[in-house]
Amino acid sequence: MKKGNIKILLLEIFLLILFFFALFASKIVARYLVAIILLVLTIVLKKNYRIKSNEYIYEKQVSILMVLFGFVYIAIYYALGLYYGFIKSLYLLSISTFFKYILPFTIIIIFAENLRKLLLSQDANISIKGKRINISVILVYLVMVLIDLIIYVGIYDFSSLENTLKVIGFVIFASLSCNLLYNYLTIRFGPKGIIIYRLMTVLFVYVIPFEPDVFLFFRSFLRMIYPFIIYIILENTYAKNNLALNNRQRKRNILATTITLVIMTLLIMLISCQFKYGIIVIGSESMTGTINMGDAVVYERYDGGTIKKGQVIMFVKNKTKIIHRAIKVRNIDGQLRITTKGDANKTADTGYITTKDISGLVRLRVKYLGWPTIWVNKLFNNK
Protein backbone atom coordinates (compact mmCIF):
# COMPACT_ATOMS: atom_id res chain seq x y z
CA MET A 1 0.00 0.00 0.00
CA LYS A 2 1.26 3.47 -0.85
CA LYS A 3 2.45 5.74 1.96
CA GLY A 4 -0.20 8.32 1.08
CA ASN A 5 -2.96 5.74 1.38
CA ILE A 6 -1.69 4.65 4.79
CA LYS A 7 -2.02 8.26 5.93
CA ILE A 8 -5.58 8.34 4.61
CA LEU A 9 -6.47 5.18 6.55
CA LEU A 10 -4.92 6.53 9.74
CA LEU A 11 -6.84 9.77 9.27
CA GLU A 12 -10.12 7.87 8.83
CA ILE A 13 -9.47 5.83 11.98
CA PHE A 14 -8.69 9.03 13.88
CA LEU A 15 -11.93 10.64 12.66
CA LEU A 16 -13.85 7.52 13.65
CA ILE A 17 -12.57 7.77 17.22
CA LEU A 18 -12.96 11.56 17.39
CA PHE A 19 -16.55 11.65 16.12
CA PHE A 20 -17.53 8.75 18.36
CA PHE A 21 -16.54 10.72 21.46
CA ALA A 22 -18.15 13.84 19.99
CA LEU A 23 -21.50 12.04 20.30
CA PHE A 24 -21.23 12.33 24.07
CA ALA A 25 -20.07 15.95 24.18
CA SER A 26 -22.29 18.99 24.60
CA LYS A 27 -24.53 19.03 21.54
CA ILE A 28 -23.77 22.60 20.41
CA VAL A 29 -20.04 22.16 21.03
CA ALA A 30 -20.05 18.85 19.14
CA ARG A 31 -21.85 20.36 16.13
CA TYR A 32 -19.47 23.28 15.72
CA LEU A 33 -16.42 21.15 16.51
CA VAL A 34 -17.38 18.66 13.79
CA ALA A 35 -18.28 21.49 11.38
CA ILE A 36 -14.89 23.19 11.82
CA ILE A 37 -12.95 19.90 11.55
CA LEU A 38 -14.75 18.95 8.34
CA LEU A 39 -14.31 22.40 6.81
CA VAL A 40 -10.58 22.64 7.56
CA LEU A 41 -9.85 19.01 6.74
CA THR A 42 -11.62 19.14 3.38
CA ILE A 43 -9.75 22.28 2.33
CA VAL A 44 -6.38 20.86 3.38
CA LEU A 45 -6.89 17.48 1.74
CA LYS A 46 -8.12 19.00 -1.53
CA LYS A 47 -4.76 20.70 -1.90
CA ASN A 48 -2.83 17.48 -1.37
CA TYR A 49 -4.85 14.73 -3.05
CA ARG A 50 -6.28 14.27 -6.50
CA ILE A 51 -10.00 13.69 -6.88
CA LYS A 52 -11.34 11.52 -9.66
CA SER A 53 -14.07 13.35 -11.55
CA ASN A 54 -14.51 11.43 -14.78
CA GLU A 55 -16.92 8.93 -13.18
CA TYR A 56 -19.69 11.48 -12.58
CA ILE A 57 -21.34 11.21 -16.00
CA TYR A 58 -24.92 11.75 -14.84
CA GLU A 59 -24.26 14.12 -11.93
CA LYS A 60 -26.60 16.86 -13.20
CA GLN A 61 -29.48 14.49 -13.97
CA VAL A 62 -29.16 12.71 -10.63
CA SER A 63 -28.94 16.03 -8.77
CA ILE A 64 -32.29 17.07 -10.25
CA LEU A 65 -33.78 13.71 -9.30
CA MET A 66 -32.49 14.08 -5.73
CA VAL A 67 -34.31 17.42 -5.44
CA LEU A 68 -37.52 15.65 -6.47
CA PHE A 69 -36.81 12.81 -4.03
CA GLY A 70 -36.34 15.42 -1.29
CA PHE A 71 -39.74 17.01 -1.98
CA VAL A 72 -41.41 13.58 -2.07
CA TYR A 73 -39.79 12.62 1.26
CA ILE A 74 -41.12 15.77 2.95
CA ALA A 75 -44.56 15.28 1.35
CA ILE A 76 -44.78 11.67 2.59
CA TYR A 77 -43.75 12.71 6.09
CA TYR A 78 -46.36 15.44 6.31
CA ALA A 79 -48.98 13.19 4.74
CA LEU A 80 -48.78 11.16 7.96
CA GLY A 81 -50.15 14.23 9.71
CA LEU A 82 -53.42 13.91 7.79
CA TYR A 83 -54.02 10.74 9.83
CA TYR A 84 -52.20 11.41 13.10
CA GLY A 85 -52.70 15.16 13.27
CA PHE A 86 -50.17 17.98 13.59
CA ILE A 87 -48.37 19.63 16.47
CA LYS A 88 -46.37 22.82 16.84
CA SER A 89 -42.73 22.29 15.92
CA LEU A 90 -40.24 22.20 18.78
CA TYR A 91 -37.76 24.13 16.64
CA LEU A 92 -39.47 27.29 15.43
CA LEU A 93 -37.39 29.33 13.01
CA SER A 94 -35.46 31.98 14.93
CA ILE A 95 -31.97 33.42 15.31
CA SER A 96 -31.30 30.89 18.06
CA THR A 97 -32.47 28.00 15.89
CA PHE A 98 -30.33 29.26 13.02
CA PHE A 99 -27.12 29.25 15.04
CA LYS A 100 -27.90 26.11 17.06
CA TYR A 101 -29.02 23.90 14.19
CA ILE A 102 -29.29 25.32 10.68
CA LEU A 103 -25.81 26.86 10.36
CA PRO A 104 -23.73 24.02 11.88
CA PHE A 105 -25.78 21.32 10.12
CA THR A 106 -25.41 23.09 6.77
CA ILE A 107 -21.63 23.29 7.18
CA ILE A 108 -21.45 19.67 8.34
CA ILE A 109 -23.49 18.32 5.42
CA ILE A 110 -21.69 20.29 2.71
CA PHE A 111 -18.18 19.49 3.88
CA ALA A 112 -18.94 15.93 5.02
CA GLU A 113 -20.09 15.06 1.50
CA ASN A 114 -17.08 16.76 -0.07
CA LEU A 115 -14.84 14.85 2.33
CA ARG A 116 -16.67 11.62 1.46
CA LYS A 117 -16.01 12.30 -2.23
CA LEU A 118 -12.34 12.98 -1.58
CA LEU A 119 -11.73 9.94 0.62
CA LEU A 120 -13.64 7.53 -1.62
CA SER A 121 -11.58 8.67 -4.60
CA GLN A 122 -8.43 7.26 -2.96
CA ASP A 123 -7.56 3.64 -3.73
CA ALA A 124 -6.65 2.44 -0.23
CA ASN A 125 -6.67 -1.28 -0.95
CA ILE A 126 -5.39 -4.05 1.29
CA SER A 127 -4.95 -7.70 0.35
CA ILE A 128 -6.76 -10.37 2.40
CA LYS A 129 -6.29 -13.99 1.26
CA GLY A 130 -5.50 -12.84 -2.24
CA LYS A 131 -8.53 -10.53 -2.48
CA ARG A 132 -8.05 -6.78 -2.67
CA ILE A 133 -10.44 -4.88 -0.41
CA ASN A 134 -10.79 -1.11 -0.28
CA ILE A 135 -10.84 -0.74 3.49
CA SER A 136 -11.24 3.01 3.10
CA VAL A 137 -14.80 2.55 1.84
CA ILE A 138 -15.74 0.79 5.09
CA LEU A 139 -14.03 3.37 7.29
CA VAL A 140 -15.56 6.29 5.40
CA TYR A 141 -18.98 4.68 5.77
CA LEU A 142 -18.57 4.37 9.55
CA VAL A 143 -17.25 7.92 9.87
CA MET A 144 -20.21 9.30 7.92
CA VAL A 145 -22.68 7.29 10.02
CA LEU A 146 -21.22 8.94 13.13
CA ILE A 147 -21.53 12.37 11.53
CA ASP A 148 -25.15 11.60 10.67
CA LEU A 149 -25.76 10.57 14.27
CA ILE A 150 -24.30 13.85 15.54
CA ILE A 151 -26.94 15.63 13.45
CA TYR A 152 -29.90 13.51 14.54
CA VAL A 153 -28.86 12.74 18.10
CA GLY A 154 -29.14 16.48 18.70
CA ILE A 155 -32.87 15.87 19.04
CA TYR A 156 -32.35 13.20 21.71
CA ASP A 157 -29.71 12.47 24.34
CA PHE A 158 -28.11 9.68 26.30
CA SER A 159 -29.29 10.86 29.73
CA SER A 160 -31.62 7.89 30.19
CA LEU A 161 -31.84 4.30 29.06
CA GLU A 162 -35.06 5.06 27.16
CA ASN A 163 -33.41 7.79 25.08
CA THR A 164 -30.34 5.63 24.49
CA LEU A 165 -32.50 2.78 23.16
CA LYS A 166 -34.34 5.24 20.90
CA VAL A 167 -31.03 6.29 19.38
CA ILE A 168 -29.89 2.69 18.96
CA GLY A 169 -33.19 1.36 17.71
CA PHE A 170 -34.25 4.14 15.40
CA VAL A 171 -31.58 6.69 14.53
CA ILE A 172 -28.67 4.29 13.99
CA PHE A 173 -30.57 1.91 11.71
CA ALA A 174 -31.80 4.82 9.59
CA SER A 175 -28.29 6.31 9.40
CA LEU A 176 -26.81 2.99 8.30
CA SER A 177 -29.34 2.78 5.49
CA CYS A 178 -28.92 6.40 4.39
CA ASN A 179 -25.14 6.22 4.25
CA LEU A 180 -25.20 3.08 2.13
CA LEU A 181 -27.07 5.19 -0.42
CA TYR A 182 -24.76 8.20 -0.01
CA ASN A 183 -21.64 6.10 -0.57
CA TYR A 184 -23.22 4.58 -3.67
CA LEU A 185 -24.25 7.99 -5.04
CA THR A 186 -20.85 9.55 -4.37
CA ILE A 187 -18.98 6.79 -6.17
CA ARG A 188 -21.37 6.74 -9.13
CA PHE A 189 -22.70 10.28 -9.51
CA GLY A 190 -20.81 12.67 -7.23
CA PRO A 191 -21.87 14.54 -4.07
CA LYS A 192 -24.00 17.44 -5.38
CA GLY A 193 -27.29 15.56 -5.37
CA ILE A 194 -26.61 14.18 -1.89
CA ILE A 195 -25.87 17.63 -0.49
CA ILE A 196 -29.11 19.08 -1.85
CA TYR A 197 -31.16 16.09 -0.70
CA ARG A 198 -29.65 16.07 2.80
CA LEU A 199 -30.09 19.81 3.30
CA MET A 200 -33.74 19.48 2.32
CA THR A 201 -34.52 16.43 4.45
CA VAL A 202 -32.59 17.59 7.52
CA LEU A 203 -33.39 21.30 7.69
CA PHE A 204 -37.09 21.33 6.82
CA VAL A 205 -38.06 20.61 10.45
CA TYR A 206 -36.39 23.88 11.48
CA VAL A 207 -38.23 25.92 8.86
CA ILE A 208 -41.80 24.58 8.82
CA PRO A 209 -43.61 25.66 12.04
CA PHE A 210 -45.61 22.44 12.46
CA GLU A 211 -45.00 18.71 12.10
CA PRO A 212 -46.97 15.44 12.17
CA ASP A 213 -47.75 14.12 15.63
CA VAL A 214 -46.25 10.71 14.93
CA PHE A 215 -44.13 8.32 16.95
CA LEU A 216 -40.37 8.60 16.35
CA PHE A 217 -40.45 5.19 14.69
CA PHE A 218 -42.34 6.37 11.62
CA ARG A 219 -39.86 9.08 10.66
CA SER A 220 -36.94 6.73 11.31
CA PHE A 221 -38.60 3.99 9.29
CA LEU A 222 -39.13 6.44 6.41
CA ARG A 223 -35.45 7.45 6.58
CA MET A 224 -34.48 3.80 6.54
CA ILE A 225 -36.64 2.52 3.69
CA TYR A 226 -36.60 5.59 1.43
CA PRO A 227 -32.89 5.29 0.46
CA PHE A 228 -33.59 1.76 -0.74
CA ILE A 229 -36.34 3.07 -3.04
CA ILE A 230 -34.02 5.77 -4.39
CA TYR A 231 -31.30 3.19 -4.98
CA ILE A 232 -33.62 0.91 -6.95
CA ILE A 233 -34.87 3.78 -9.12
CA LEU A 234 -31.37 5.09 -9.90
CA GLU A 235 -29.96 1.62 -10.46
CA ASN A 236 -32.69 0.74 -12.94
CA THR A 237 -32.40 4.12 -14.67
CA TYR A 238 -28.64 4.51 -15.03
CA ALA A 239 -26.93 1.17 -14.37
CA LYS A 240 -27.74 -0.10 -17.86
CA ASN A 241 -25.45 2.63 -19.19
CA ASN A 242 -22.60 1.74 -16.86
CA LEU A 243 -20.36 -0.92 -18.34
CA ALA A 244 -18.48 -1.29 -15.07
CA LEU A 245 -21.42 -3.07 -13.48
CA ASN A 246 -22.69 -6.23 -15.10
CA ASN A 247 -26.16 -7.68 -14.54
CA ARG A 248 -24.95 -10.29 -12.06
CA GLN A 249 -23.23 -7.68 -9.90
CA ARG A 250 -26.29 -5.41 -9.96
CA LYS A 251 -28.50 -8.29 -8.86
CA ARG A 252 -26.10 -9.06 -6.01
CA ASN A 253 -26.13 -5.43 -4.91
CA ILE A 254 -29.92 -5.28 -4.95
CA LEU A 255 -30.21 -8.62 -3.12
CA ALA A 256 -27.73 -7.57 -0.42
CA THR A 257 -29.52 -4.25 0.03
CA THR A 258 -32.91 -5.99 0.21
CA ILE A 259 -31.74 -8.48 2.84
CA THR A 260 -30.18 -5.70 4.93
CA LEU A 261 -33.34 -3.63 4.68
CA VAL A 262 -35.59 -6.54 5.68
CA ILE A 263 -33.44 -7.33 8.73
CA MET A 264 -33.33 -3.68 9.81
CA THR A 265 -37.07 -3.31 9.26
CA LEU A 266 -37.91 -6.36 11.39
CA LEU A 267 -35.61 -5.22 14.19
CA ILE A 268 -36.92 -1.68 14.26
CA MET A 269 -40.52 -2.90 14.15
CA LEU A 270 -39.88 -5.13 17.16
CA ILE A 271 -38.05 -2.44 19.11
CA SER A 272 -40.69 0.19 18.43
CA CYS A 273 -43.50 -2.03 19.80
CA GLN A 274 -45.89 -0.12 17.55
CA PHE A 275 -47.05 -3.15 15.58
CA LYS A 276 -48.54 -6.55 16.29
CA TYR A 277 -45.31 -7.92 17.77
CA GLY A 278 -42.80 -6.30 20.10
CA ILE A 279 -39.76 -7.27 22.10
CA ILE A 280 -38.89 -6.70 25.75
CA VAL A 281 -35.87 -7.54 27.90
CA ILE A 282 -36.32 -9.50 31.14
CA GLY A 283 -34.64 -7.63 33.98
CA SER A 284 -35.69 -9.73 36.98
CA GLU A 285 -35.41 -13.32 38.15
CA SER A 286 -39.10 -13.88 38.92
CA MET A 287 -39.57 -16.20 35.90
CA THR A 288 -36.21 -18.01 36.18
CA GLY A 289 -36.37 -21.48 34.72
CA THR A 290 -38.94 -20.46 32.15
CA ILE A 291 -37.56 -17.08 31.15
CA ASN A 292 -34.27 -16.05 32.70
CA MET A 293 -32.89 -12.64 33.50
CA GLY A 294 -31.10 -11.32 30.40
CA ASP A 295 -33.41 -13.12 27.99
CA ALA A 296 -35.56 -11.21 25.53
CA VAL A 297 -39.12 -12.20 24.75
CA VAL A 298 -41.18 -11.48 21.67
CA TYR A 299 -44.79 -10.79 22.57
CA GLU A 300 -47.96 -10.41 20.54
CA ARG A 301 -50.01 -7.32 21.30
CA TYR A 302 -53.16 -8.17 23.24
CA ASP A 303 -56.30 -6.81 21.59
CA GLY A 304 -58.87 -8.55 23.76
CA GLY A 305 -60.12 -12.07 24.05
CA THR A 306 -60.05 -14.83 26.63
CA ILE A 307 -57.03 -15.36 28.85
CA LYS A 308 -56.43 -18.97 29.78
CA LYS A 309 -54.90 -20.35 32.94
CA GLY A 310 -51.20 -21.06 32.38
CA GLN A 311 -50.62 -18.35 29.73
CA VAL A 312 -47.53 -16.18 30.15
CA ILE A 313 -48.70 -12.60 29.76
CA MET A 314 -47.27 -9.09 29.86
CA PHE A 315 -49.20 -6.56 31.91
CA VAL A 316 -48.65 -3.14 33.41
CA LYS A 317 -48.77 -2.62 37.14
CA ASN A 318 -47.67 0.59 38.88
CA LYS A 319 -46.41 1.85 35.50
CA THR A 320 -44.07 -1.16 35.23
CA LYS A 321 -44.24 -3.85 32.55
CA ILE A 322 -44.30 -7.30 34.13
CA ILE A 323 -44.17 -10.74 32.53
CA HIS A 324 -45.74 -13.43 34.73
CA ARG A 325 -47.96 -16.46 34.33
CA ALA A 326 -51.74 -16.42 34.78
CA ILE A 327 -52.41 -19.01 37.50
CA LYS A 328 -56.08 -18.30 38.14
CA VAL A 329 -58.73 -16.78 35.87
CA ARG A 330 -62.16 -15.93 37.28
CA ASN A 331 -65.17 -14.33 35.63
CA ILE A 332 -66.92 -12.10 38.15
CA ASP A 333 -69.89 -10.08 36.92
CA GLY A 334 -68.65 -10.30 33.34
CA GLN A 335 -65.13 -9.13 34.23
CA LEU A 336 -62.07 -11.40 34.07
CA ARG A 337 -60.00 -11.19 37.23
CA ILE A 338 -56.61 -12.75 36.74
CA THR A 339 -54.20 -13.82 39.45
CA THR A 340 -50.56 -13.89 38.31
CA LYS A 341 -47.32 -15.31 39.62
CA GLY A 342 -43.69 -15.49 38.60
CA ASP A 343 -42.65 -19.12 38.08
CA ALA A 344 -39.68 -18.65 40.41
CA ASN A 345 -41.67 -16.80 43.10
CA LYS A 346 -42.99 -18.69 46.11
CA THR A 347 -46.21 -16.68 46.32
CA ALA A 348 -48.66 -15.18 43.85
CA ASP A 349 -48.68 -11.48 43.03
CA THR A 350 -50.72 -9.27 45.34
CA GLY A 351 -54.26 -8.61 44.16
CA TYR A 352 -55.41 -9.27 40.63
CA ILE A 353 -55.36 -7.71 37.17
CA THR A 354 -58.03 -7.37 34.49
CA THR A 355 -57.83 -7.56 30.72
CA LYS A 356 -57.41 -3.76 30.66
CA ASP A 357 -54.01 -4.21 32.31
CA ILE A 358 -52.76 -6.77 29.77
CA SER A 359 -50.66 -5.44 26.89
CA GLY A 360 -49.17 -8.61 25.38
CA LEU A 361 -49.03 -12.40 25.16
CA VAL A 362 -45.55 -13.94 25.25
CA ARG A 363 -44.82 -15.95 22.08
CA LEU A 364 -41.05 -16.47 21.91
CA ARG A 365 -38.01 -16.47 24.17
CA VAL A 366 -34.55 -15.52 22.91
CA LYS A 367 -31.79 -16.47 25.33
CA TYR A 368 -29.17 -13.93 26.45
CA LEU A 369 -30.19 -11.29 23.87
CA GLY A 370 -31.13 -8.76 26.53
CA TRP A 371 -27.90 -8.71 28.54
CA PRO A 372 -26.39 -5.69 26.72
CA THR A 373 -29.50 -3.68 27.64
CA ILE A 374 -29.23 -4.76 31.27
CA TRP A 375 -25.56 -3.75 31.38
CA VAL A 376 -26.37 -0.34 29.92
CA ASN A 377 -29.19 0.04 32.45
CA LYS A 378 -26.78 -0.70 35.29
CA LEU A 379 -24.42 1.97 33.97
CA PHE A 380 -27.20 4.55 34.10
CA ASN A 381 -28.34 3.45 37.54
CA ASN A 382 -24.78 3.69 38.87
CA LYS A 383 -24.34 7.31 37.72
In a shared domain, residues 218 and 249: yes
* Residues 166 and 204 occupy one common structural domain: yes
Determine contact, residues 113/240, Cβ cutoff 8 Å: no
| Together in a domain, 116 and 49 | yes
Residue 144 has a pLDDT of 94
**Contacts by 299-304 with C-beta closer than 8 Å and gap 24+?**
299/323, 299/359, 299/360, 299/361, 299/362, 299/363, 300/276, 300/360, 300/361, 300/363, 301/275, 301/276, 301/277, 301/359, 301/360, 302/355, 302/358, 302/359, 302/360, 302/361, 304/355
Amino acid present at 27: K
User: Do residue 200 and residue 262 come from a single domain?
Assistant: yes
Q: Are residues 188 and 317 located together in one domain of the fold?
A: no
Cβ atoms of residues 14 and 82 within 8 Å: no
- Give me the residues of the chain with pLDDT under 70, please: 1-5, 49-56, 123-133, 154-170, 239-254, 256-257, 260-261, 264-265, 267-274, 372-383
**Separation in Å, CA 332 to CA 305, 337, 350:** 16, 7, 18
Among residues 272, 304, 327, the one where a domain terminates is 272
Q: What pLDDT, on the 0 to 100 scale, is given for residue 243?
A: 47
Distances (CA, A) of 118 to 20, 48, 122, 126, 361: 21, 11, 7, 19, 52
Q: How far does the chain reach from its first CA to its final CA, in angstroms?
A: 45
Please state whether 198 falls in left (phi above 0), alpha (psi between -120 and 50) or beta: alpha
Question: Do 204 and 318 fall into the same domain?
Answer: no
Q: With the C-alpha atoms ordered 149, 151, 155, 158, is the resulting torsion angle positive or negative?
A: positive
Among residues 272, 307, 338, which one ends one of the domains? 272
The answer to whether the Cα torsion of 318, 321, 327, 328 is positive or negative is: positive
Specify whether 191 is located in the same domain as 104: yes
Shared domain check, 198 and 329: no
Angstrom CA distances, 33 to 29, 91, 98, 104, 198, stand at: 6, 22, 16, 9, 20
One domain for residues 22 and 130:
yes
Q: Do residues 227 and 295 both lie within one domain? A: no
Q: Are residues 209 and 173 in the same domain?
A: yes
Host domain of residue 358: 277-381
Structural domain count, the chain: 2
CATH no. for residue 302?
A: 2.10.109.10
CA atoms of 361 and 336, how far apart (whole Å): 16
Structural domain ending residue among the three candidates 215, 240, 272: 272
User: Could you tell me which of 370, 367, 308 has the C-alpha nearest to residue 340?
Assistant: 308
Q: Dump pLDDT digits (tens) for 301-346.
A: 898 888 899 999 999 888 788 999 999 999 888 788 999 999 999 9
DSSP code per residue over 140-153: HHHHHHHHHHHHHG
Are residues 202 and 293 both part of a single domain?
Answer: no
